[in-house]
Structure 1
Amino acid sequence: MKIDLSLLCDAATVDPSGKLNVLGVFDRIHAREFPARHGRLCLVLRLETRAIDAGERVAEIRLVTPGGEDLVRLDGKIQIGPASGDMVSRIPQVLNLDGIVFPEAGTYRFEIAVDGEPMATVPLILSPAPTQRDGVPHVGPEGMPPIFFAPGGPAEA
């Protein structure tokens, strides 16, 4: 078993046919002040499994602070159905995480493990909002305006 896709985004769904729909992929959040509350983020994972992986697995997802402490921890069980022969199954997972409060700027990371084995790490950079120049926000990468949130998150911005 492995994780062949892991990312953060604004929204994601899995349709009845199993197709994964992802909107607004990001790896950085700008905040006007800290602690900063983010309204919603989605952690998207796709498990790639084979017949040998069938059975119940224990999953652990941790959001780790820049200082190495757990900010969020989710533990659960995954039931992997049998795949036929050498067939590969890809199982999309969408976790909606609402109202996470980030205490400080820095690089956070989601660490994903299955049966105690590290499978993926997804970094998330929290940084102070760029300063304004002449009343205009500083431009972000590729000329795009930066994304930043008020202390209450996007729902309260």
Structure 2
Amino acid sequence: MSEVPPVMLSAITCDRVIFDRISGMPSIINIVQVVNSVNFPLRHSELVFFCELTNGHGQTEVEIVLVDLEEDDKVLFNQKKTVEFRDVRHILTLALKMQGVVFPEPGEYRFQIYANGTMLGERRIVCRKVEKPPQKDADGGVSF
């Protein structure tokens, strides 16, 4: 494993990533920066953490961690994978699909990415509690 950490070019949370069958290029669908919910804890059905790394050297252990900043960086999710950089100019694309991630309460969370134990960067996601909108009556009026 290389001692030189790669460089993180981008980090995005989204609903979906579609890879073109011919070119292999990714399309990021519905970027997620803020999640609104009436109730907490919130179980998010599906979320994708997308990132691009470059300047890597050979085999590198990559770890993606989701932490709760308001709970002393409590780890909510983590996954490790060993990846291979063919050369330093190679751009490695990672799209980690997570199903059923639970956000325990409103607040700020961070996706952190590590390479061989060195933090490369992080991406913030905010969960907000919102009020349920008033329901409309059959005649179009608002019920409280």
- The TM-score bracket by the shorter chain reads 0.7 to 0.9
- Cα deviation for residue 71 of structure 1 reads 0.6
- Cα deviation for residue 130 of structure 1 reads 3.8
TM-score normalized by structure 1?
A: 0.75
Aligned counterparts of 1:105 and 1:21: Cα–Cα separation in 2: 29
- Cα deviation for residue 82 of structure 1 reads 2.7
Q: Which has the larger radius of gyration?
A: 2
Instruction: Answer whether contact 1:32 1:129 (CA < 8 A) is retained.
Output: yes
Instruction: Answer whether contact 1:14 1:92 (CA < 8 A) is retained.
Output: no
Instruction: Answer whether contact 1:13 1:94 (CA < 8 A) is retained.
Output: no
For 1:58, the equivalent position in structure 2 comes to 61
Aligned counterparts of 2:32 and 2:107: Cα–Cα separation in 1: 15
For 2:19, the equivalent position in structure 1 comes to 14
- Cα deviation for residue 27 of structure 1 reads 0.7
Give 5+ residue unaligned stretches, structure 1: 137-157
TM-score normalized by structure 2?
A: 0.81
Instruction: Answer whether contact 2:43 2:101 (CA < 8 A) is retained.
Output: yes
Aligned counterparts of 2:45 and 2:132: Cα–Cα separation in 1: 22
Match status 1:28 vs 2:34: yes
Please identify, of 25-34 and 122-131, the stretch whose mean Cα deviation from structure 2 is larger: 122-131
Give 5+ residue unaligned stretches, structure 2: 1-5, 137-144
- Cα deviation for residue 114 of structure 1 reads 0.4
Aligned counterparts of 1:56 and 1:91: Cα–Cα separation in 2: 12
For 1:93, the equivalent position in structure 2 comes to 94
Match status 1:115 vs 2:116: yes
| 1:89 alignment partner, SS class | coil
Alignment-mate amino acid for residue 55 of structure 1:
G
- Cα deviation for residue 131 of structure 1 reads 4.7
Aligned counterparts of 1:60 and 1:22: Cα–Cα separation in 2: 21
- Aligned-pair Cα RMSD in Å: 1.6
Cα deviation per residue 1:89-135 (whole Å; 9 max; x = unaligned)?
22211111111111111001011110111112011101102453x54
Match status 1:70 vs 2:75: yes
For 1:149, the equivalent position in structure 2 comes to none
Q: How many residues align?
A: 128
For 1:3, the equivalent position in structure 2 comes to 8
